[in-house]
Copies of this chain bind each other. A is one copy, B any other.
Amino acid sequence: MAKIGFIGVGNMGGPMATNLIKDGHEVKAFDVVGQTLSRIVNAGAAQASSPADAASDVEAVVTMLPAGQHVSDVYTGTGEVLGNLAPGTLIIDSSTIDVATSREMHAAAADAGFDMLDAPVSGGVTGAEAGTLTIMCGGSAETFARAKPYLDVMGKNIFHAGGPGAGQAAKACNNMLLAINMIGLSEAFNLSDALGLERQTLFDIVSTASGGSWALSNYTPVPELVPTTPANNNFNPGFTGAMMLKDLKLSQDAAQSLDVSSPLGAAATMLFSLYCNEGHDADDFSGIIRMLRGKKVD
């Protein structure tokens, strides 16, 4: 068992750190929110006084932070983590951030002599608690192999997507597809309703035809077809509109800076921006079907 520093123990980081503790690791945790930090200390973590404190004298440090700016601050800015790591410490950044910042962090870690892995997750709070997250990783094969035992404790489907930043890249592409497919499904169900088709029939046909998708089979945006989807529960998340909007923005930032034409990605971003601006940022992202349907709500 290892000593692990964990920085950022909120909704996602908290249960991830808890799973490491349950697996027998010693976790030293830090969070800027005192209440959040208390919760993980109650779950068995040691309380660190700063990011640098959490990261010192451990075998691995895991960060789970909101955006690129925070990650940059923690590692190379005022957080001073890079300067306080013991030699050989493994760095795992599970934050979902832009590829460019992620690659800057990789470069800074390499310059300082450390192995780093970007390892953004998907699966939401439920997946974090159950230890069933999907984790997409970027870094060398050796670093991936070093990190794998820890990742296996926090997730279930662990992918090595390629070199530095590849985990971020893969997640951005995947979630952009999820958003596009979900909006498409919403339009198709609304159109199908208007045309008088039974929803079960549309579901049965499209599931086995060329319009099928993971989103249709597992996250249908209308109720009663797939149990347990947010559509059955008044669009309680699940995966919020705000989180999907964040991921879409990351995809579009990358697309724009690399001159990649992404018309449906841009349209999806715009639609989730409308969805969040209307006050649905904390609702499940699949609830966008209601915005598209307007007042004609079932």
Contacts and interface: CB of A to CB of B under 8 A. Distances in A.
B157 A208 contact: yes
Interface in A181-202: 181, 183-185, 187-188, 190-192, 194-198, 201-202
Nearest to A176: B188
Contacts of A295: 277-279
Contacts of A162: 196-198, 201
Contact of A197 (B169, B251, B271): B169
Interface string A158-173: 0101110110011011
Given A197-B170, A210-B215, A294-B274, A159 B256 contact: no
Interface string A232-270: 000000000000000001011111101111111111111
A264 B210 CA distance: 17
Interface residues on A, range: 35 or more
A165 B174 CA distance: 35
Nearest to A161: B201
Contact of A185 (B177, B190, B293): B177
A173 B185 CA distance: 9
Contact of A214 (B177, B211, B292, B293): B211
A94 interface: no
A122 interface: yes
A153 interface: no
Contact of A213 (B134, B213, B264): B213
A209 B201 contact: no
A55 interface: no
A277 B258 contact: no
A191 B260 contact: yes
A180 interface: yes
A204 interface: yes
A164 to B, nearest CB: 9
Contacts of A266: 266-267, 269-270
A172 to B, nearest CB: 7
Contacts of A63: none
6 contacts: A173-B188, A177-B211, A194-B259, A263-B270, A266-B270, A274-B274
Interface of A: 99, 122, 134, 136, 157, 159, 161-163, 165-166, 169-170, 172-178, 180-181, 183-185, 187-188, 190-192, 194-198, 201-202, 204-206, 208-216, 218-219, 249, 251-256, 258-271, 273-274, 276-279, 291-296
Given A194-B258, A274-B291, 18 more contacts: A136-B205, A161-B202, A161-B205, A162-B196, A169-B192, A170-B197, A170-B201, A173-B202, A181-B181, A191-B265, A195-B254, A195-B258, A213-B213, A256-B273, A261-B292, A266-B267, A274-B294, A277-B296
